[in-house]
């Protein structure tokens, strides 16, 4: 059974960076690309980016271009999402999700506050 | 980006009611549409993919229909466990977008 386990909650100051990890079990990361979605408190879901297997490249939402970096370590089956230049509006729950949509991590709460 | 418009934003219903939620895409997405259920403090749970395919383990009272730009999620007989927020999502292009959500409340 596919399971995605994310790293713990983070508290960051404005301007800092955060790196969230997503550890995969039940399959190999190389078999199924990972995407990242975030949800600010009380709001809807927002796609940040993911790996396009057809093009062999990572695609980022325009809103996050230049601030987000998605990486995958296939030796440890762990995906990472790094978001830089954090601001208060980045306070949200961050989720990793498999490209076939049916497996989500439990979420990582990132709080940005001075 | 493809815009997804869900309606209604809130729905009050009773146990046993038939419930319908609609989702409209700003351009054709063929059948590349998913529906999720989300409860407070939890990750979204996939209910329907490819517009009408029921995810394994999801009760058969959930069904999806539509193609192109107009889609529907139907709960045939609302159960106590179904009170939650529902989202549609298009994955036609590599810039996934979600509807704004429909909260199903107890009447």
What is the rounded CA–CA span in Å between residue B80 and residue A102?
23
**Interstrand relation of B70-75 and A34-39 (parallel, antiparallel or unpaired):** unpaired
Chain position carrying tokens 């975030």: A38
Contacts of A50 in chain B (CB under 8 A): 94, 96
Say yes or no for a CB contact (<8 Å) between A102 and B46: yes
- Following CA atoms B2, B5, B6, B7 in sequence, which dihedral angle do they give, to the nearest 10 degrees? -160
Confidence bin at B93 (pLDDT 50/70/90): confident
Q: pLDDT digit string (tens) for B32-84? A: 999 999 999 999 999 999 999 999 999 999 999 999 999 999 999 999 999 99
B36 CA to chain A: closest CA distance, Å?
10
What is the rounded CA–CA span in Å between residue A46 and residue A68?
14
- Residue-level pLDDT at A55: 86
Neighbours of B24 (CB within 10 A): 16
Best residue of B50, B94, B101, B102 to probe chain A, by most A CBs closer than 10 Å: B94
Q: pLDDT digit string (tens) for B39-50? A: 999 999 999 999
Confidence bin at A52 (pLDDT 50/70/90): confident
Contacts of A100 in chain B (CB under 8 A): 49
What is the rounded CA–CA span in Å between residue B30 and residue B66?
9
Say yes or no for a CB contact (<8 Å) between A102 and B49: yes
């Amino acid at each position: 059974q596919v399971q995605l386990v994310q790293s713990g909650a983070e508290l960051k100051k404005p301007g800092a960076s955060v790196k969230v990890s997503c550890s995969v079990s039940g399959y190999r990361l190389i078999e199924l690309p990972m995407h990242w979605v975030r949800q600010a408190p009380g709001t809807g879901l927002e796609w940040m980016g993911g790996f396009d297997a057809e093009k062999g490249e990572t695609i980022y939402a325009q809103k996050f271009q230049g601030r987000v970096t998605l990486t995958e370590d296939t030796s440890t089956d762990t995906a990472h999402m790094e978001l830089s230049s954090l601001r208060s509006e980045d306070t949200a729950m961050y989720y990793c999700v498999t490209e076939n949509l049916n497996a989500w991590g439990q979420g990582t709460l990132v709080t940005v506050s001075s | 980006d493809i815009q997804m418009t869900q309606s209604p934003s809130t729905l009050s219903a009773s146990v046993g009611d038939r419930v319908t939620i609609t989702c409209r895409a700003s351009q054709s997405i063929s059948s590349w549409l998913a529906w999720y259920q989300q409860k407070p403090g939890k990750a979204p749970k996939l209910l329907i993919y490819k517009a009408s395919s029921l995810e394994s383990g999801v009760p058969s009272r959930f069904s999806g229909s539509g193609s192109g730009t107009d889609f529907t999620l139907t709960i045939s007989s609302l159960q106590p466990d179904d009170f939650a927020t529902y989202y549609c999502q298009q994955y036609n292009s590599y810039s996934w977008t979600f509807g704004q959500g429909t909260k199903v409340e107890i009447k």
